[in-house]
Amino acid sequence: MKFGVVVFPGSNCDRDMQDALQNDLNQEVVMLWHKDNDLSMFSTEDCIVLPGGFSYGDYLRCGAIARFSPVMQGVIDFANKGGKVLGVCNGFQVLCEAHLLPGALLRNANQQFISKNIYIKGVGSPEKALKIPIAHGEGRYYAEAAVLDELEAKGQVIYKYCDETGAVTPSSNPNGAIRNIAGICNANRNVFGMMPHPERATSDALGNIDGRIIMNSLLIHSKTSTARAAAAVANF
Ligand SMILES: NC(=O)CC[C@H](N)C(=O)O
């Protein structure tokens, strides 16, 4: 499995993602510029990553301009063929703007940029609450009730904000995301987006390795088509 990490003008988590994948998870990584629209070097077993950042200065709405970068047509085609796509934070925003994932990321309920550690829990997973950093101004996931009901019924809500004990409560919701949603996947389970940053929590040097559980689940899912790992993330 090979990873392609897209760099948009204004990305700032692309190298963190590369470092986590290459050095902490021992994976092959190819860096892609947003003007690269040829993704033919990737098979559907590979994964394209849209990293966090402030693409195009967050003008208009976060991710709204990046969605029109030349690489995105390739990413959409790749996803439609069943290729795996991961979007973290700004990457999640781009995936929603590109309609590869349903819903939208709205301005945080408190109208402020929030940068801190929070806890998330894999929905239906026996794993402990994971401590993961967030750093965003527009992270409040929103979708209409009918869309949310379908996401929940089909197991597409992958992570919810919770407290340290794993309890999903209004007070453990950092940005006002509807139903505490922190990460979702598409109906085909090959496109996954989340607001928290697992790539900032994959090394002892960073003081937190909970992100490894999430990143590792991407690899486990790429190797076992049937097994659903404890830290189940989509169909990776
Ligand atoms: N860390 C990020 O990717 C931030 C995303 C976006 N710029 C926001 O503030 O919401």
- Flag whether 148 is in a domain: yes
Tell me whether residue 221 is one of the annotated catalytic residues: no
**pLDDT tens figures, 18-60:** 999 999 999 999 999 999 989 999 999 999 999 999 999 999 9
Could you tell me which residue, 227 or 93, shows the higher pLDDT? 93
Looking at residues 13-19, what average pLDDT do you find? 98
> How many CA atoms lie within 13 Å of 89's alpha carbon, on the beta-carbon side?
26
What's the number of domains the chain is made of? 1
- Flag whether 174 is in a domain: yes
ipTM over 0.95: yes
**Of all protein residues, whose CA lies closest to atom 4 belonging to ligand 1?**
136
Q: Which domain holds residue 36?
A: 2-223
Looking at residues 150-154, what average pLDDT do you find? 97
The confidence band for 125, taking pLDDT boundaries of 50, 70 and 90, is confident
pLDDT at residue 225 greater than cutoff 80: no
Q: Give the C-alpha separation, 202 to 207, whole Å.
A: 9
**pLDDT tens figures, 162-215:** 999 999 999 999 999 999 999 999 999 999 999 999 999 999 999 999 999 999
8, 49, 62, 116: residue to mutate for ligand 1 pocket, most atoms within 8 A of CB: 62
Q: Quick one: 97 exposed, middle or buried, by C-beta within 10 A (0-12, 13-18, 19+)? A: buried
The confidence band for 130, taking pLDDT boundaries of 50, 70 and 90, is very high
**Of all protein residues, whose CA lies closest to atom 3 belonging to ligand 1?**
52
- Cβ(54) to ligand 1 under 6 A? yes
Tell me whether residue 152 is one of the annotated catalytic residues: no
CATH of the domain at 13: 3.40.50.880
Residue type, 73: Q
Q: Give the C-alpha separation, 182 to 179, whole Å.
A: 9
Average pLDDT, the chain: 93
pTM: 0.93
- Flag whether 82 is in a domain: yes
What is residue 231's predicted lDDT score, i.e. its pLDDT?
A: 41
> How many CA atoms lie within 13 Å of 18's alpha carbon, on the beta-carbon side?
13
pLDDT at residue 223 greater than cutoff 70: no
pLDDT at residue 65 greater than cutoff 50: yes
138, 194, 197, 200: residue to mutate for ligand 1 pocket, most atoms within 8 A of CB: 138
DSSP E strands in the chain: the ranges are 2-7, 28-33, 47-50, 84-88, 104-106, 114-122, 130-136, 140-142, 157-162, 181-185, 191-194
- Flag whether 68 is in a domain: yes
User: Phi-psi bin for 128: left (phi > 0), alpha (psi -120 to 50), beta?
Assistant: beta
- Flag whether 235 is in a domain: no
- Flag whether 72 is in a domain: yes
- Cβ(10) to ligand 1 under 6 A? no
pLDDT at residue 227 greater than cutoff 70: no
- Flag whether 113 is in a domain: yes
- Flag whether 133 is in a domain: yes
Looking at residues 103-128, what average pLDDT do you find? 95
Structure-token match 């991710």, residue found: 63
Residue type, 89: C
Q: What is the CA radius of gyration of the chain?
A: 16
Hey, CA dihedral for 100, 65, 114, 116, is it positive or negative? positive
What is residue 226's predicted lDDT score, i.e. its pLDDT?
A: 34
The confidence band for 221, taking pLDDT boundaries of 50, 70 and 90, is low
**pLDDT tens figures, 109-121:** 999 999 999 999 9
Q: Give the C-alpha separation, 40 to 220, whole Å.
A: 24
